[in-house]
Every structure is written in structure tokens, then in C-alpha cells.
Amino acid sequence: MNNKVFSVENGVLFNYTGRRSKVDVPSNVTAIANFAFKGNKWAKTVQIPQGVVSVRDFAFQDCVALQSVQLPQNRCALGSHLFQGCIALENVQLPVDTTEIATSTFEGCKSLKHVDVPKTVQNIGAFAFAGCTLLNQIQLPVGIKTLGHHAFHCCFLLKHVVLPHGMEVVGRNAFAGCTMLQSVHIAQTVTHLGSDVFYDCKNLVEVVLPEKLQAISDRLFCRCKNLQTVVLPSQAQCIGNFAFYYCGKLKQIQLPNGLVSVGDKAFACCGLQQVVLPTLVQTIGNHAFYNCTQLTDVVIPQSVQTIGEKAFASCTRLGSLRFDGTAEQWSNVQKHSNWAEGILATHVQCTNGIVEI
């Protein structure tokens, strides 16, 4: 091997300029610097010696021919954006004691089908596997705590995901655009699901959410058009904007007893047939149930203070509206003038009589 293509100083490999398809990193190297192989167009396989203790940020970014990397299996710190844009990468075995898969480590690795996540991993960073369009399975270890935002964004072939015991936080858009995702098991240890986590997961059918969630984030299941069953945490206080927007096959849902507010377009264009709002609800947002064309019956609690613009508009089969309070209490509810535009019902049934809409 011509060592002139390796720029090494004090054990650190700063740059590789060779054009070989098979690269063996010299045995005297103990660290690979930022950008060391960045943009190399010829390396297909890279062998890194066991003595290397760190491979730093962007080290192999945009190595478009790279198919396989043999990383050291002892303690070795791995930087961010490590293999970002390595579109031919098929095989990587991570060091057995890896604790973090950093930001954008495998982002855009379009040929990557499988990665063994070491049992020691506690954090997967933002965009870590985003755009890995052939990745068809991932097994997350028990004890992992966080998934960064967009971690598996647009991993089109993922079908089944288990968020295991010990996980606490799932960042926004973590599985957004995973259009083949069919099932998700979420451990009860999860306390936060960010916005858009399952956005446009068109084949997701059933989800049970953990009891520790205090809110259903914005667009959490937006455009999950085949979603049929969701079990919500009983004490969740807020359902965010567009949370279930365009979930056309969602025909029924039991809303949490602790629910206080329903966000804008939270259930717009859903397949809901009946809605019973719990006794603590105060706010029904703009277009909250807009265009739920299968909706026939709605029960509104006396706790409600505001009903937003077109909240139930275009629910063309909505023929029964019940308010669990008096007509006087109903008159005190702040209602947008077109809150019930285009519905079948002509009046609201209160506890002491009916009120015209």
C-alpha cells in the first residue's frame, strides 16, 4: 500500500487521497479526523484497525462508492454525519459498546437494509437513519432512552417497530413518511412523542399510546389514512392541531377523561361516527371535526367554553347534538357563527329543552 495517499500525523489520519477500491487504514492510525475520506469516489471497502479509538464527524460523508466498512469492535467513539450520503453502503457493524448513533450517521444511505444496533446504545440522534429507503427492519435495544427528530424519516420499507422499555422521548417526525409502517408497539416508559412522529404513515392500523403522555402532539397521526384503532392515555389534557387529520378509517375513539382542549382540525376529515366529549373539555378548536361525513351523534359537556370556526361544519350526517347543560349555559358558550354550517341537525338538545342552531 502506498502510504503517500494517507496523511497521518501523531496517529491521526487527516486525509486519504487514494483511488483504490479496497482500503486498509494503516495500523499506526489511532483516530480518523473530520472529513478524512469525505467525497472519495473510489473506495468500496474500508478496513479500520482495532487500535482506532475514534472516527470523527463527516469522516466518510458522500463516499458514493462505499459499500462496506469494518469498524473496530473495541471501544471506539463515532462522530456525527459519519456515513451521510454513502448511497451504496450496504454493510456496517457498529462497535459493540457504542452508546450513541449520532446525528445523520446514516442519513441518505439508500442501499442500507439492516443495521444491528448494539445493546449499549442509549440515544439515536436526529436524522440518524433518515432517507434509508431500503431499511426494512430495526431492533432497538431495551434501555434506549431517546430517538432524535427525523431519526427514521422516510424509511419507506420499515413495517414493524418496537419502542422498547426504557425509552422516554421520541422526537418530532421520527417515523414520518414511513409509508409501509403497519404496527408500532410503544413502551409505557415513553413520556413524550413529538409532533409529526407518525405523519403520513399510510399503512399504520393500530396504536396503543402510553399512559404517561400528557398531550397528543400536533399532527401525530396526520394522514394515517388506514388507522382504525387508537387507545389514548386517560389523562392526556390536549389533542394537538391536525393530530388525526385525514384518518379516514378511524370510526371510533374514546377520548381521555382528562381532556381539556381539542386542537384545530384535530379530527377533520376522519371517519368518526360518534363523538362524546369528556366532562372537562373547555375548547373545541377551529375545524376540529370539520368534514367528518360519517358523524351522526355528538355530545358536548357543560364545561365547554368555546367552539371554533367550522368546528363541526360539513358533517353532513350529523343529526343529533346534545349539550349536557341548560339552554342558558349553552347561550354562554362562545361559538363561531359557522360552527355547525352544513350539518343535518337544526337544534341542540339541552337538559331543559332544545335550542335552535
Average pLDDT value for the chain: 97
pLDDT at 142: 96
pLDDT at 74: 86
Please report the pLDDT score of residue 91 as a whole number. Answer: 86
pLDDT of 155-213, one tens digit each? 999 999 999 999 999 999 999 999 999 999 999 999 999 999 999 999 999 999 999 99
- Provide the pLDDT for residue 2: 47
Q: Quick check: 1 pLDDT over 60?
A: no
Task: Judge whether 41 and 64 are in contact, CB under 8 Å.
Answer: yes
pLDDT digits (tens, 9 = 90+) for 291-335: 999 999 999 999 999 999 999 999 999 999 999 999 999 999 999
Query: What type of residue is 238?
Result: C
Q: What is the DSSP letter of 19?
A: -
pLDDT tens figures, 267-289: 999 999 999 999 999 999 999 99
Answer yes or no: are the C-beta atoms of 162 and 142 closer than 8 Å.
no
Predicted structure pTM score: 0.95
H or E stretch at 329:
helix 327-332
CA-closest candidate to residue 256, choices 276, 278, 275: 278
DSSP 8-state code for residue 205 = -
Grid cell, residue 334, equals 362562545
Phi, psi for 67 (deg, rounded to 5): -110, -35
Mind listing the pLDDT tens digit for each residue in 234-261? 999 999 999 999 999 999 999 999 999 9
* pLDDT at position 113 over 80: yes
Q: How far apart are CA 154 and CA 224, in angstroms?
A: 14
Sheet holding 68-70, edge to edge: 22-24, 45-47, 68-70, 91-93
What is the residue extent of each domain of the chain?
Answer: 247-357
Q: Tell me: the pLDDT tens digits for 85-108?
A: 999 999 899 999 999 999 999 999
Let me know if 17 is exposed, middle or buried by CB neighbors in 10 A (0-12, 13-18, 19+).
exposed
* Amino acid at residue number 1: M
SS3 readout for 130-184: CCCCCCCCCCCCCCCCEECCCCCCCCCCCCEEEECCCCCEECCCCCCCCCCCCEE
Cell digits for 202? 399510510
Architecture of domain 247-357: Alpha-Beta Horseshoe (3.80)
